[in-house]
Amino acid sequence: MDIQVRVWRQSGPADRGRMVGYDVKDISPDASFLEMIDVLNEKLILDGDDPIAFDHDCREGICGACSMVINGVAHGPEKATTTCQLHMRHFKDGDVIDVEPWRAAAFPVIKDLVVDRSAFDQIIQAGGYISAPTGTAPDAHATPVPKKDADAAFEAATCIGCGACVAACPNGSSMLFTAAKVTHLGLMPQGQPERDSRVIDMLQAQDDAGFGGCTNMGECAEVCPKGIPLSLIGRLNSDYRKAIAKS
């Protein structure tokens, strides 16, 4: 299949950036989207041009590094799919595909499609941990956990921190990410000592990093590759109100 790819090119944070079109020919429908970018980059290098900079690592939908907005949708048109899991068979021969980086004030562009997502690290550092005594490891079943809580905690813990929720949000909010990280620890017995301070500190770190406020548009949950539900934001708000009341 032959397609045209219009890619955001930006040489650095100070560059204004622009969309540049490239023709990509003879792409297999079974190729992944990132493999298509690889083919394009090989052509650019052979032509003496600067290859397109983009984030990637596992290419198995695990790490969340492959951050691209494809035709206006974070990670592309397929639901519950990261960019590296998106295949060219979901497009048509002759299509024009627009590829852009995450767009958010808290995710400044470094180069082309690569953005600085260290703001997520600041949120995690503010409270994404538990108090665990050192020494002999406790038995696996020493602390009983109700299955309902364990399942809910695991669902929240599947968040891979890719940032698609931020890129999709009209306000550039990271509430779905923060809610997932607060919830999966707050549901477990091991996470109770820091439960109140965790939600207060992580939300403060979120605001300090420059993320926007949540207005419950729901776009975040629509593009989340791991299906993190919007209801976790409601749980986060409830925990925050209780923690503020106690403090």
Q: What is the pLDDT of residues 188-231, one digit of tens each?
A: 998 999 999 999 999 999 999 999 999 999 999 999 999 999 99
Exposed e or buried b per residue across 200-225, where buried means at least 16 C-beta atoms within 10 angstroms of its C-beta = bbbbebbeebebbebeeeebbbebbb
Tell me what percent of the residues of the chain surpass a pLDDT of 70.
Answer: 100
CATH fold group of domain 3-110: Ubiquitin-like (UB roll) (3.10.20)
Q: What is the pLDDT of residues 150-190, one digit of tens each?
A: 999 999 999 999 999 999 999 999 999 999 999 999 999 98
Please give the Cα distance from 148 to 61 (Å, whole number): 26
Q: What is the pLDDT of residue 241?
A: 97
Q: What is the CATH number of domain 117-133+140-246?
A: 1.10.1060.10
| pTM, full prediction | 0.94
The SS3 assignment for 93 reads coil
DSSP letter for 87, please.
B
Tell whether the torsion through CA atoms of 125, 129, 135 and 137 is positive or negative. negative
Cα–Cα nearest to 77, from 56, 60, 95, 62: 95
Tell whether the torsion through CA atoms of 157, 162, 163 and 167 is positive or negative. negative
Q: What is the pLDDT of residues 95-137, one digit of tens each?
A: 999 999 999 999 999 999 999 999 999 999 999 998 877 777 7
* Domain extents in the chain: 3-110, 117-133+140-246
**Helical segments of the chain, H only:** 33-46, 118-127, 147-157, 164-168, 175-186, 195-208, 219-223, 231-246
Residue in the structure block whose two tokens are 């494809």: 70
Q: How many residues does the chain have?
A: 247
